[in-house]
A and B are shown apart, each in its own frame.
Chain A
Amino acid sequence: MSKFVQIFATRWGIIVVGALIGILAVLLQKWGNPANMGVCVACFERDIAGALGLHRAAVVQYMRPEIIGFVLGSLIAAHAFKEFRARAGSAPIVRFILGAFAMIGALVFLGCPWRAALRLAGGDWNAIFGLLGLIGGIWVGTLFFKGGYNLGRSQTTHTSVGWLLPLTMLGFLVLMFVFPQVPGQDKSGVLLYSVKGPGSMHAPLFLSLAIGLIIGFLAQRSRFCTMGAIRDLVLFGQTHLLSGFVSLVVFAFLTNLALGQFNPGFANQPVAHTMSLWNFGGMVLAGLAFALAGGCPGRQLFLAGEGDGDAAIFVMGMIVGAAFAHNFGLASSPTGVGPYGIAAVITGLLVCLFIGFTMRQKTA
């Protein structure tokens, strides 16, 4: 088993995992998920917030099984390799706020780093501005790291603490079985289901769940992280995680080509807008928030699956942030940024700067 561990921790290991994520994500698009959105952690957590009725944007409501699979797949991997360790207590409220603003920034761009990569791989050149913003935000984050920014130590805690987010996800899955989607109906029991728009587009439940479990398992083993990919390059000159991220883009692109899903251009891209400045600005905010919280949204789900209660709080922050984003008109749509999206990005950046400048803790 230890040999298996080493395989995924190697450079080839992470390249293979990135490739698999890229291929599976594009296949999910073929099987029903929205275009250039085979897997998008921000979009899918936003859809979950919608399915729960935390926001009422009728076009983005679906309990995405991929997200449930990510957490549970990571939980399975962490237990199989004896890496599950319940821990919590490293500035939880800060992680919640960072999660909320990370989501708001991502929804101004319309995608998390994973989707930025998938959009690029699908020929949506607007994603270039989003990725540049992501790099910019993470770069600012590394300046704070160099200045001593630190959210403090977590503590080992009761095993059940680490189980709470995985159990919550399991509960969401149970809700999907108890209140299954009824074609043409926008509600089934307590769950909301989009009848049109991106929320209505999804691969079959068990396929989504299975692929989510596979990705969750592999990502836990390889520590796949899109924010870490850029951070480690800027901060340490390391390209280990970056090779996984690049592999995702390359293999998603090749799969798109093979399936005839590559449509290059700026205009009329699926679930995207062309306001370059705010594609950039939204991702500066998201990138900075991910950097300050220590992981991209996918990585936060995998960490939560292996018992990290602080990462779980970040996830909850993202779901609540999505609710605010749609209730307050902060999220963008294909026509452009929402009425208060720009104000929210500026507010979020100020909050992140406040956190970055004031939270320096001696770790010695």
Chain B
Amino acid sequence: MSAIVDATGLSCPQPVILTMNEIKKLGRGEITVVVDTVTSRENVSRAAAAQGWTLKGIVEEGETFRITIAKD
């Protein structure tokens, strides 16, 4: 069961800030970040990778992207 971060409708840099906050809070595990622009998708993926989290997958659902990241 992954933690969910809803960053839809939020502009730069909020999606990354919310993702980083969750990463700091959990330390490890799985997080699903929901965004609705390609820019946010790239930014969140890049920020997660920089923190040593692995990109598990991105699912496009209508107008949104569900980005799943994980760290063991």
**Residues of A that sit less than 8 Å from B by CB:** 5, 9, 81, 83, 85, 87, 90, 145, 150-151, 153-156, 223, 225, 228, 231-232, 235-238, 240, 294-295, 308, 310, 363-364
Contact = CB atoms under 8 A, between A and B. Distances in A.
Residue of A87, A153, A310 ringed by the most chain B CB atoms within 10 A: A153
27 contacts: A5-B38, A83-B37, A83-B38, A85-B36, A85-B37, A85-B63, A87-B36, A145-B13, A150-B10, A151-B11, A154-B9, A155-B9, A156-B36, A156-B63, A225-B12, A235-B13, A236-B13, A236-B50, A238-B46, A238-B47, A240-B46, A294-B12, A294-B13, A308-B11, A363-B7, A363-B14, A364-B6
A225 B46 CA distance: 16
Nearest to B62: A156
Nearest to B45: A9
Interface string B1-26: 00000111111111011101000000
Given A235-B13, A236-B16, A363-B18, A153 B37 contact: no
Contacts of B17: 145, 235
Given A223-B42, A238-B46, A363-B18, A153 B10 contact: yes
Given A87-B9, A153-B9, A156-B63, 5 more contacts: A85-B36, A85-B63, A87-B36, A145-B13, A236-B47
A232 B10 contact: no
A300 B44 CA distance: 20
A155 B8 CA distance: 9
Contacts of B13: 145, 228, 231-232, 235-236, 294
Nearest to A227: B12
A267 to B, nearest CB: 39
B27 to A, nearest CB: 18
Residue of B8, B14, B63 ringed by the most chain A CB atoms within 10 A: B14
Contacts of B9: 87, 90, 153-156
A33 B6 CA distance: 45
Contacts of A223: 39, 42-43
A41 B58 CA distance: 35
A224 B7 CA distance: 21
B23 to A, nearest CB: 11
